[in-house]
Copies of this chain bind each other. A is one copy, B any other.
Amino acid sequence: MRIPVLTNLLEESDALANLNRQTFDAAGVFVVNLMSSPGAGKTTILAKTIELLRDRGLRCAVLEGDITSTLDSERLAPLGVPVVQANTEPFGGDCHVGSHFVKAALDHLPIHDLDYLFIENIGNLVCPAEFYLGEHRKVVVLSLPEGEDKPVKYPLMFRECQACLLNKLDLLPYLDVSVPLLRERIATVNGGLTVFPVSAKTGIGLGSWIEWLELGRTELQAAKCGVSVSTS
């Protein structure tokens, strides 16, 4: 039996991502695709990040990706920022956010009144790494309880990202985990990855992360004005 198949599904996905990127660039919105294992702390990090950026007068929105449920959107709603929930279950239960979800979400976001858009991807250290959504930066959150071996066991994610948040630093005294060893292993996979040890719970380390986000946005604005700025 033969059935028609789009052989260029990945190309279609990338084409949509490129359209998304054009929209983001034109609006001057800096977009971050946040990925991690389930429970690494993406939503808590986002809540703190949104507050810290707001303190600096910067406006954020969130695209929440989940297979099902609106639990994360409900956690972020009290912050008063625009949140769009994208659930993949009604569409086959995809294990990652697709560029078509991002494109659809843009209709529901005040894109011209934003400085940052955060895409909270589905909790999965494997599949989301394979898909470009149009974002300016890919960021992986690794929580310390997950252990030191993850960069080596899930190398694609760590290769694709530009920054890594090592979260749950507050638990370090109770774990058999070495941050230097973890850094070493990250470096063997991607020496260019910027690493931020943080605790979203206590707030420690988040200042450098916020500065990194601000530098990224400055770079985007400079590019829009035709100015080249080196921020990395």
Please give the residue numbers on chain A whose beta carbons come within 8 Å of chain B beta carbons, in ascending order: 1-5, 7, 37-40, 66-69, 71-72, 93, 95, 122-127, 143, 145-147, 149-150, 152-156, 168, 170-171, 174-176, 201
Contacts and interface: CB of A to CB of B under 8 A. Distances in A.
Query: 10 nearest interchain CB pairs?
Result: A39-B146, A95-B126, A145-B145, A37-B38, A37-B37, A38-B125, A39-B147, A71-B149, A69-B153, A69-B152
16 contacts: A38-B125, A38-B146, A67-B126, A67-B153, A67-B154, A67-B156, A69-B152, A71-B152, A93-B156, A95-B95, A95-B126, A95-B127, A123-B154, A127-B127, A143-B145, A145-B145
Given A38-B150, A67-B126, A69-B152, 13 more contacts: A2-B3, A3-B5, A37-B37, A37-B123, A38-B154, A68-B152, A72-B153, A124-B125, A124-B127, A143-B145, A170-B174, A171-B171, A171-B174
A21 to B, nearest CB: 25
Contacts of A143: 39, 145
A2 B4 CA distance: 5
A68 B155 contact: yes
